[in-house]
Amino acid sequence: MNNNIIRGQLSVSLLCLAALGSLPSLSMAQDGAGIIEEVVVTARKRAENLQDVPVAVSAFNAAELQRQGVNDITELQQRLPNTTLQVSRGTNSTLTAYIRGIGQQDPLWGFEPGVGIYIDDVYIARPQGAVLDILDVENIEVLRGPQGTLYGKNTIGGALKYQTRQLDNEASFQIRGRAGSYNQRDIVISGSTPLIENTLYIGGGIASLQRDGFGEFRNTGDDNYNKEVQSAHLKLEWQATDDVLVRISADETQDDSNPRGGYRLTPSLVTGQRPYGSVYDSDSSLPVENEVNTEGASLHVVWDINDQLEFKSITSSREGYTYTNIDFDATAVNTFDVPAIYDDEQFTQEFQLNYVAGEMSVVGGLYYFSGEACGVFDVILGLAGITAENGGCVDTDSYSAYAQATYDFSPAFSMSLGGRYTTDEKVADVYRYVYLGAVYPEQNVTPLLVQSDFTDKEDWAEFSPHIGAQYRFSDDVMAYGSFTSGFKSGGFDMRANQSVNPLADEPFDPEIVDSFEVGLKSSLLDSRLRLNAALFYNDYQDMQVTVQRAVGTTDYASQVVNAGEAKMKGFELEAAAALTDNLSLSAVVGYIDAEFVEVSNFDPVVGRVVDVSDAWVISNTPEWSGNLALNYRADIGAWQSDWKLGASYRDSVHIFELPSALDEGSYTLMNADIVFTSPDSHWMIGLHGKNLTDEEYRIAGYNFAATFDSSGNLVAPGLGGEDTVTGFYGDPRTVMLSVGYQF
């Protein structure tokens, strides 16, 4: 651990020194050349220069993402401070998202995320299907820190905004093919055209994303970590009048990739199977079947009432379906198998007003969310000859009203004040049955035991305030400070087992985060250096802690309680510098000190509630993170070439709140990109290498370990009679060739 800390501090120090060491070169660069481009963001629900926004936000445009060969949003983790965006455990498309130590550990239906995901300003309630591929995107913004006033509940860590490309009078066509390691073969086609000039436009696209597995299921020969995704989207825009725009969008994505099999870190107690030589190899006693379907439609209406006032209406409907088979123990014997179904749908409506006049700007609105999240999973314990099935639905209705105003007291000084009031109502139907033999979801079988079967409801009301101030020292330097609060919705434990825990049906309350932040944004040396920094402190209260304990080898008790309190403090630094007309450097550094202050947990040994905060850790949150990249642009004949070399560092990380063998040490990923653009900008050819040193790094896992004494002798097996400690890993070294044509 001490070595990891030293390596983390050394790596980040080198990043800082590299960035600072470039400054003498900047002073000698020619004026007016190599200027860092202006970035426009919508963090405050209106278009603004990134350097004018008193929010810690990072932005990526379409050209930048294409030049770097970014395939999906999880790759942005390498370019962001204090941020985790990873694939969750045994799937290809369920997202684990953490920002500044806050996120969603458990993707079970009915539980809520801590980082909000938005597609074209539409909130996506579930993490299933949220590993978004980069297709026809305009830009992506990542907002760090609670966004409770403008974006509502479940953004206590931050928000990720994915904006698709807008349409206009110019007809366009793009086709891009990618081929690479592990038989990667992608094709993306998109385009748009005006149907009636200045009035009606249509656009859309299709994509097929295919790749063989990084490994295989040894006992079946099926691919492990493969990819098989098809996606389509359609957009229609109508400029009804000079002042009214109507946009209709629809999309669908089908993911038929195999479920991911875990890598056993320990020998099997049942089969004697020892860890394989490749971390991407596994075994499974379940059929290698997986299906994830997400689809949605939205209606945007934008009305410019006058020069000062704009009205927006955003109506959307989305649904998702997942069927997956997860072999927890990763052996050819059905010791601990979990087939599962997730089925959810949501409807949202937002009315928004934006007012800008003189020294005053105001954004406010009304928001409604209605959703149903259902699911069922079967824990098949083959050695015991039983199946425990948990299932049910959670219906949610949420209403909120919000407003945030900014007033410029002078050209240099302004303040903002806002708040959001939200009411939440949830109705939960929960059951837990025990069957003889192996039972799969939706089978019509009479249960042997009924351990839970209840319907309950609860409602909550929360107010999320915001107050901030910013001061501009000059046209190029701005400082800000803010206090913002947010909350993550309460709910019910969908694993409730009342037979061993009579209180398991009780609801848990929302989490609350109060955040203090000060920051500096600067554009220096004639716009050749952009340097942004932020300091933050989070007071995290009423944390929802999932408490589970084994009951023998064939059962377990579960309850979610508001038993935790934590503190997070840290800093973030983002820098971009034009060293010469052709050479630029970017650097990102994140540091966070996150710890539990209190965790109240019932200890069955002593028979009372005890504070276990000294033993618990904040998961999915490395103490240090950083990225350093050099970019060089040069003409080769009539073609433009862009060369990039980058290194991304992540400190050691805990996978769960209790330290375990799954925890991962620090690692650095090296990436390189070479992109050639034709003189007319129609052709783009790129070669992209990722994880060039073939670093092996664990990002998730399952831990249902057996108990051993100090001599290594078995004391008690884990759930199902196994020693289940299985890990899931990030991508190995890959090389990809991309060829694109557009007009």
DSSP 8-state class, residue 244: E
DSSP assignment of 568-597: EEEEEEEEEEE-SSSEEEEEEEEEEEEEEE
Tens digits of residue pLDDT in 244-281? 999 999 999 999 999 999 999 999 999 999 999 999 99
Give the angle subtended at the CA of 254 by the CAs of 251 and 258, to the nearest 5°.
Answer: 160
Burial 256-289 (b: 16+ CB within 10 A, else e): ebbbbbbbbbbebbbeebebbebbbbbbbbbebe
Q: How many CB atoms lie within 10 A of CB 555?
A: 19
Give me the numbers of helices (H) and strands (E) for the chain, helices first please: 3, 40
Mean pLDDT of 19-25: 39
Cα angle value 21/621/491 (rounded, 5°): 145
Backbone phi and psi for residue 632, each to the nearest 5 degrees, phi listed first: -130, 130
Q: Which pLDDT band, with edges at 50, 70 and 90, does 17 fall under?
A: very low
Average pLDDT over residues 641-645: 97
Q: Percentage of the chain with pLDDT > 70?
A: 94
| Residue 23, pLDDT score | 39
Residue 628 confidence (pLDDT): 98
Model confidence pLDDT, tens digit, residues 159-204: 999 999 989 999 999 999 999 999 999 999 999 999 999 999 999 9
- pLDDT value of position 549: 64
Count of Cβ atoms closer than 10 Å to residue 571 Cβ = 17
CB of 5 within 8 A of CB of 556? no
pLDDT tens profile 591-621: 999 999 998 877 766 777 888 899 999 999 9
Quick one: pLDDT at residue 605?
A: 67
* Structural domains in the chain, sorted by start: 2-742 (2.40.170.20)
- How far is Cα 506 from Cα 484, in angstroms, rounded to an integer? 29
Give the pLDDT score at 503.
84
DSSP letters spanning 124-147: E--SBT-S-B--SEEEEEEEES--
Mean pLDDT of 353-363: 96
Q: What is the pLDDT of residue 610?
A: 86
Q: How confident is the model at residue 209 (pLDDT cuts 50, 70, 90)?
A: very high
Residue 539 has pLDDT above 70, yes or no: yes
Greater pLDDT, 735 or 544: 735
pLDDT, one tens digit per residue, over 47-105 is 999 999 999 999 999 999 999 999 999 999 999 999 999 999 988 899 999 999 999 98
What is the tens place of the pLDDT at every residue in 313-334?
999 999 999 999 999 999 999 9
Q: For the segment 40-53, what is each residue's pLDDT rounded down to a tens digit?
A: 999 999 999 999 99
Q: How many whole angstroms separate alpha carbon 424 and alpha carbon 112?
A: 13
Neighbours of 56 (CB within 10 A): 27
Give the per-residue SS3 of 334-364: CCCEEEEEEEEEEEEEEEEEEEEECCEEEEE
Q: Which residues contact 419 (CB under 8 A, 6 or more apart)?
A: 149, 402, 403, 404, 463, 464, 465, 466
User: Who contacts 127 (Cβ-Cβ below 8 Å, separation ≥6)?
Assistant: 88, 94, 95, 96, 97, 104, 107, 113, 117
Q: Is the pLDDT of residue 548 over 80?
A: no
How large is the average pLDDT for residues 283-310?
96
Is residue 564 within 8 A of residue 545, CB to CB? The reply is: yes
Q: What type of residue is 580?
A: T
Q: Count CB atoms within 10 A of the CB of residue 17.
A: 11
Cβ–Cβ contacts within 10 Å for residue 61, how many? 16
Read off the tokens for 325: 């088979």
pLDDT tens digit sequence for 117-155? 999 999 999 999 999 999 889 999 999 999 999 999 999
- What pLDDT, in 10s, does the model give residues 413-458? 999 999 999 999 999 999 999 999 999 998 999 999 999 999 999 9
The pLDDT mean for the chain works out to 92
> To which H or E segment does residue 699 belong?
strand 698-704
- The whole-angstrom separation of Cα 100 and Cα 623 is 10
Q: In the numeric block, which tokens belong to residue 425?
A: 């109502």
**What pLDDT digit, counting tens, does each position of 704-741 carry?**
999 999 999 999 999 889 999 999 999 999 999 999 99
Angle, alpha carbons 375-378-382 (nearest 5°): 170
Residue 347, pLDDT above cutoff 90? yes
Q: Which residues pair with 432 in a beta bridge?
A: 390, 452
- Separation between Cα atoms, residue 709 and residue 716, nearest integer Å: 9
DSSP label of 400:
E
Structure tokens belonging to residue 574 = 């983002």
| % of the chain beyond a pLDDT of 90 | 86
